[in-house]
Amino acid sequence: EYIRLMHGLTDLEEELASKLKLKRVVIIPGDSEEDQAARRELGRAAAGVLSQYLGNNSTIAVSGGSTMAVVAEAVQASAAAVTVVPARGGLGEEVEFQANTVASVMAAKLGGRYRMLHIPDGLSEKSLEIILENDSNMRMVADMIRHADILIHGIGQAREMAVRRNMSEAAVAEILATGAVGEALGHYCSLQGEIVYVTNSVGLRLDELESIGLVVAVAGGSDKAQAIVAVTSAGGQSVLVTDEAAARRVRTII
Ligand code: F6P
């Protein structure tokens, strides 16, 4: 607390919360992109926010990504019976970054249960529909995701995420040409919060988060400042957990 006051982080938290129209912003000191200790601290702060809102029989939907992997590791055992589900499936990423993986790690730490979404990547809307129609387990998980009490997710830079998902150079250029700077849940957003491209998948949509009780975004590092503004401007977000490096840069662009 002393460190936060010393760095003026409490004022910055309030300023960003009001400008980004969020319930709450939590800023940890330092730069989580440069410093492993700060990175773990970001994870701990997000895990702390999560624990404050966990109720009995809560369903938590989680995204993938390296930040969320750190959050999952930081989570502590909960007395509440919770189930963790991936927020969205099949975004075309490495196993350790997948939401399924984060969900299973977080569930183990919480002492809760998890459900997975096994969806191949790159399916058409039509194929997804057919799978959902024919696979009752998948339908049930999709339903749990839609009714999640808490969503906790990462935010990434549009270019980095498009490249990480092995999109062709032409596809990456096309997405960037639409003005995309940030990405969350497979949704690419412009700085103004307009959703300009969506990866086909099953699960939560960034523009349909009103039914989720609490939406927590976790992202740090000054390079993610634009992405943070883009995704929080798209709406539906309640809490942002970030670091000082990102927060100070965000302040210069809002
Ligand atoms: O791919 C899942 C995801 O949560 C993306 O939506 C987000 O942009 C990204 O991970 C963040 O990844 P990282 O924490 O590794 O920067």
Which of 109-123, 191-205, 229-243 bottoms out in mean pLDDT, i.e. has the lowest?
Answer: 109-123
The pair of structure tokens assigned to 200 is 């086909």
How would you write the chain as a 3-class SS string?
A: CHHHHHCCHHHHHHHHHHHCCCCEEEEECCCCCCCHHHHHHHHHHHHHHHHHHCCCCEEEEECCCHHHHHHHHHCCCCCCCEEEEECECCCCCCHHHCHHHHHHHHHHHHCCEECCCCCCCCCCHHHHHHHHHHCHHHHHHHHHHHCCCEEEEECEEHHHHHHHCCCCHHHHHHHHHCCEEEEECCEEEECCCCEEEECCCCECCCCCCCCCCEEEEECCCHHHHHHHHHHHHCCCCCEEEEEHHHHHHHHHHC
How many Å lie between the centroid of ligand 1 and the Cα of residue 132? 25
What is the pLDDT averaged over residues 20-30?
Answer: 97
Closest CA to 64 of 17, 21, 117, 120: 117
Mutate which of 153, 195, 205 for ligand 1? The one with the most ligand atoms within 8 Å of its CB, which is 153
Query: How far apart (Å, rounded) are the C-alpha atoms in residues 217 and 68?
Result: 10
Q: Are 145 and 86 in contact (CB under 8 A)?
A: yes
Tens digits of residue pLDDT in 206-246: 999 999 999 999 999 999 999 999 999 999 999 999 999 99
How many Å lie between the centroid of ligand 1 and the Cα of residue 6? 31
64 lines ligand 1 (CB under 6 A): yes
182 lines ligand 1 (CB under 6 A): no
How many Å lie between the centroid of ligand 1 and the Cα of residue 65? 4
pLDDT of residue 4 exceeding 80, the answer is no
How many Å lie between the centroid of ligand 1 and the Cα of residue 10? 26
From the centroid of its chain, how far is CA 107?
17
Which of 88-92, 171-175, 227-231, 240-244 bottoms out in mean pLDDT, i.e. has the lowest?
Answer: 88-92
Confidence band, pLDDT 50/70/90 cuts, at residue 1? low
183 lines ligand 1 (CB under 6 A): yes
How confident is the model at residue 62, as a pLDDT?
A: 98
